[in-house]
Amino acid sequence: MTTIIKTQTNVLTNTQSVNDYVVEFNQFAAKTADAIIGMGRVVFRAKQNLGSDFAKFCEDIRFKEKSSAIRKLEQIGRKADFLEKYADRLPNTWTTVYRLTQLGNDVLETAIEKGVVHATMTGIEAGKLLVQFNGVPASSKRNVKQIVSSAPVAANDGAYEITLRFDGVPDRAKVQSLEMVVNGLAATTGNCNVIRSQPLDMLMQDQPKAAA
């Protein structure tokens, strides 16, 4: 089906319908980095072109429009042109690829070339790389030389800070309780901020799956 969009001055033809985007998305069924980038590109283009029909597209590919999966795929699609150059050296899970898109292109490119980012990289390893550059301008050329391993280091921004690091994936409820305590202490101090790392923020924003 062809969708016609009429305006006062001209007629624009969007040659792809919702079903066309659904079929194209489903072609990337194999779980490879190339396929993940392809799915992301389709989601990004569908979001740009379908308008209110984007919700129907998400429904037809069995995702909720506001889900974290769609948000992550859209971000991957936004950087698809850059990512596809290194598809053979990227991990094959979209959450891990999404985390890597949070890095500047300069940093990610150097990390790939040094082998820090590789096809078997885990989400935890990607999270550590994000922590390494948390609070630092990721696309700054002067920071590229800092990539020597995947071990996280504190941002060298001159700030006085205390870091609390979890071993493994933390329990959401325990994180919420801990944040209440820390936020209360921060409020009494009055001159400090409580900042989540990006991996923790993504964990806390993702909706827990309902019990079967």
pTM (two decimals): 0.54
Please report, rounded to a whole number, the percentage of residues in the chain having pLDDT higher than 90.
23
The one-character DSSP state at 150 is S
Q: Predicted confidence band at 207 (pLDDT cuts at 50, 70, 90)? A: low
Res. 172 pLDDT band, cuts 50 70 90? confident
3-state secondary structure of 71: helix
- For the record, the structure tokens of 90 come out as 């990227």
Residue 11, amino acid = V
Specify the amino acid at residue 179.
Answer: E
pLDDT score of 211 more than 70: no
CA–CA dist 166, 77 (Å, integer) = 30
Q: What is the pLDDT of residues 82-122, one digit of tens each?
A: 999 998 889 888 888 998 998 888 888 888 888 888 888 88
Q: What is the C-alpha separation between 92 and 73, in angstroms, rounded?
A: 13
More confident residue, 35 or 147: 35
